Structure 1
Amino acid sequence: MNHHHQSRGTIEINTRLVTTGAVLAAAGAVVSWAGMAIAASALLVAGRRLVREMEVPPAQQAAMKWRQAKEASRAGMQAWQSTSDTQS
């Protein structure tokens, strides 16, 4: 007769390994965030330098392109209307 009994439903967890894993994961997250912050800082500095060195600031370029688009739209509309008028 076998007198060896195992209790069902109990799991033995090595809490030392779990704690070590959690600490390593947290340390990895901190290192990862630090790396992302350094990279973002470098990109921000490079972007600012690029904007500073531009002959025409981005806001002024956008305004010029917007005016060009409006003028092109107006010219296209006038051409379409004049074509419609001559065909009628």
Structure 2
Amino acid sequence: MSSHPQPRHTLPIDNRLVAAGAMLTAAGALVAGAGITVVAFAVLSAGRRVIRGMDVPPAQQAAMKWRQAKEASQAGLQAWHSASDAHDVGPSR
């Protein structure tokens, strides 16, 4: 009698099928990677064409919007100070 018990139930696995499945999975991953690369290239190319066709480049648009936001903020601050000063100078009794 041996000192190590033998497993009673073993799972018979066909190693050829496991290897074939692994190879098919790897091939599928390569095909999927190639597909993702083609899609990314198409989207980036289209994006470049859209940006080249713009009258005003995005960086210039952003700079204009930033300037507008700063001017609006300063105008709001001046209006708030003017209203605050007018309220403080009101008639005294």
Q: TM-score under structure 1 normalisation?
A: 0.87
| Deviation digits for residues 15-55 of structure 1 (CA, Å, limit 9, x no counterpart) | 11111110111111001010000000000110110011000
Q: Give the distance between the partners of 1:69 and 1:32, measured in 2 at CA.
A: 45
Q: Which of these two proteins has the greater Rg computed from alpha carbons?
A: 2
Specify which structure has the higher proportion of helix. 1
**Partner letter of residue 51 of structure 1?**
I
For this pair of structures, how many residues does the alignment match?
83
Q: Give the distance between the partners of 1:13 and 1:27, measured in 2 at CA.
A: 22
Q: CA shift at 1:86, angstroms?
A: 1.0
The percent identity for this pair of structures is 63
Greater Cα shift, 24-33 or 7-16: 7-16
Stretches (4+) displaced over 4 A = none
Superposed, 1:1-88 pairs within 5 Å as 7-8=7-8, 10-88=10-88
What stretches of structure 2 of length at least 5 have no aligned partner? 1-5, 89-93
